[in-house]
Amino acid sequence: MNAVRSNDPARQERLRALNLELVFRHVLAAEAPVSRTELAAATGLTRPTITRIVEELIAGRLVTETGATPDGRAGRPRMGLTVCRSGPAGLGLDIRTEGLAACVVDLGGAVRHLAFAPFTDTEAPAVLERLGRMAAEAAEAVSAEGLTVVTATLAVPGPTDAGIVRTAPSLGWRDVDAGALLAEHLRHLDVTTNVDNEANLAARGELHRATPDHFLYISGGLDIGAGIILDRRLMRGSHGWGGELGHLTVDPDGKPCRCGSRGCLQTYASLAAILHGETLPEDLTADAALLTWADAGRPETLAALDTAATALGIAIANVLNLLDIDTVLLGGSFALLSSWLIEGVEAELAQRVLSSRWAPITVRPATLGPDAAAIGAAMAVVDLIRRDPTAWLASGR
């Protein structure tokens, strides 16, 4: 913390930045357009200060003035301020089980573009080249609506470190500098790029919806990952490699895992484990095939789902005993399969979580579905600008 002295020009500037941030947060959080008078009342700032700040926010395309809107009282329409839906936008890129996704959200968090392409090749250079093209298409598509893509965030199924994907077993990647490859393909766009774990980004996506302050987001698929939200902040650990739920030990003498360990949750509850070597019908994805088979009451599928649910429950119980979280969101393939999993998970939690004797635990499907990571990645724009709107405005983009 720095000392803030009166009449110090640096302090005056910091004060202006704090006030601008405060006003922008109010506009972002408001459910309906707000007037300048309401902003003055809510922030305690003077009307001239509000007027100056609103001008800055409008000029920087962060806030926009809506037309006359009814305010509930008959005959008294009014002007209001809302977050700008035709200003800076965020691009999310996602490498998921069946292919690649690109998503653009505006400053209000609304999805404005969403594209999906099945895999043709899972080698890193090919994947990043394809994502580069999808990014360009997305930026082009939304520019027609006045949006400018200013952040690009890539979601990958594995731990990352300064843009490097340390390992992504489902893709066979190891130490791939995805950040550099992506930046190379996006060099024609003036964007901030970032790479993060898909479960972390999906958890952040869910956080932007109205979820509790603390929750465990679980991403099911070829790999199993988790994003941990405590006090509405993503828990990243020392290096950002947290949330490797798929490699929690469920049975120390269990089957060998690709990671080199034994009895990892992966070996019971990944899509491959639940499919137990079954060949997929040509026209169905793994999720869809499992749903079809489960609905038809196919005994092998039901047994595999039971095994997965028990293993998942044991691993989740470990997390809850350790972190004291009481909401669990099942995402990715687990969201689709949740009606076959929740009962088995809950049975393990009731037995294994110490606090379950006196505090209830909620297990439910995540709300964003398979696009959670792409949407969470695209939402980086909101976090970037919300964190420091003054720096953003000063950048002149």
| Binding interface with a second copy (CB under 8 A) | 1-6, 12, 15, 18-19, 21-22, 25, 43-46, 159, 166-167, 213-214, 226, 228, 230, 235-245, 247-252, 259-262, 310, 314, 317-319, 321-326, 351-355, 357-359
Q: In the block, which residue shows the tokens 């491959």?
A: 272
Q: Where are the alpha helices (DSSP H) in the chain?
A: 9-29, 36-43, 47-59, 124-143, 178-185, 198-208, 266-269, 271-275, 286-295, 299-323, 333-336, 338-352, 372-378, 380-387, 389-394
In angstroms, what is the minimal distance from the CB of 213 to a second copy?
8
Q: How far apart are CB 218 and a second copy at their closest, in Å?
A: 12
Please state, as a whole number, how many other Cβ atoms lie within 10 Å of the Cβ of residue 112: 19
**Please, what is the minimum distance in Å from the beta carbon of residue 348 to a second copy?**
8
**Nearest to a second copy of 25, 85 (CB atom):** 25
DSSP letters of 255-292?
-B-TTS-BSBTHHHHSHHHHHTTPPPPTT--HHHHHHH
Considering the complex, what minimum distance in angstroms separates the CB of residue 257 from a second copy? 9
Q: By C-beta, is 260 or 299 nearer to a second copy?
A: 260
DSSP 119-131: -S--SHHHHHHHH
Q: Based on CB atoms, which residue is closest to a second copy, 194 or 285?
A: 194
Minimum distance from residue 156 beta carbon to a second copy (Å) = 14
Q: Alpha carbon of 247 to those of 46, 251, 343: distances in Å? A: 55, 11, 22
Least Å distance between CB 209 and a second copy? 19
Spatial distance between the Cα atoms of 146 and 391, rounded to a whole number of angstroms: 22
* SS3 label, residue 388: coil
Using alpha carbons, select from 235, 225, 178, 164 the residue that is nearest to residue 204.
235
Q: How far is the CB of 137 from a second copy (least distance, A)?
A: 34
Least distance to a second copy, CB of residue 355, Å = 5
Query: CB-wise, 90 or 227, nearer to a second copy?
Result: 227
Identity of the residue, 47 or 187, whose beta carbon is nearer to a second copy in the bound complex: 47
Spatial separation of the C-alpha atoms in residues 35 and 63, rounded to whole Å: 12
- Minimum Å gap between C-beta 332 and a second copy is 18
d(CA 346, CA 359): 13
Give the span between the Cα atoms of 144 and 139, in whole angstroms. 9
44 Cβ neighbours under 8 A, 6+ residues apart: none
Q: Which is nearer to a second copy, 87 or 331 (CB)?
A: 331
Rank residues 44 and 118 by Cβ distance to a second copy and give the closer one. Answer: 44
Closer residue to a second copy in complex, CB, 53/290: 53
Q: Which two tokens stand for residue 76?
A: 């008294």
Residue closer to a second copy (CB basis): 151 or 167: 167
Paired residues of 167 in beta bridges: 174
